[in-house]
Amino acid sequence: MRDELLNESLFFGLDHARSAIAEWADDYNNFRPHSSLGYQTPAVYAGTIAATGSNAAQDESYAFPPVATNAPFGVSENAGPLIAAG
């Protein structure tokens, strides 16, 4: 958005900015195919997900790889901060 709209536009007021952003978002979500979505628009892809009951996060072809590995065995994900006894 920044490169395609915000850096390229001169807005003449808040209403003009809101209108331009809404128009850009509509185009981006409903008319532009995205390679990361199999060259579908986000709206079509979301409709496919909803219609099939699929979970996009579990679909390996569209999900980003995890940033970190799972916690080692015996380490709780809900562990609070360590407090030194003293």
Q: In the chain, pLDDT over 70 holds for what percent of residues? A: 71
Tens of pLDDT, residue by residue over 31-71, are 999 998 889 999 998 888 887 776 655 555 656 666 777 77
CA distance 49 to 67: 24
Domain boundaries, the chain: 2-58
pTM, 2 dp: 0.55
Question: What are phi and psi for residue 48, nearest 5 degrees?
Answer: -65, -45
Q: Which pLDDT value is given to residue 47?
A: 87
CB 62 within 8 A of CB 36: yes
b (16+ CB within 10 A) / e for 33-61? eeeebeeebeebbeeeeeeeeeeeeeeee
Classified as helix, coil or strand, 59 is: coil
Q: Which pLDDT value is given to residue 51?
A: 78
More confident residue, 85 or 24: 24
CB 37 within 8 A of CB 62: yes
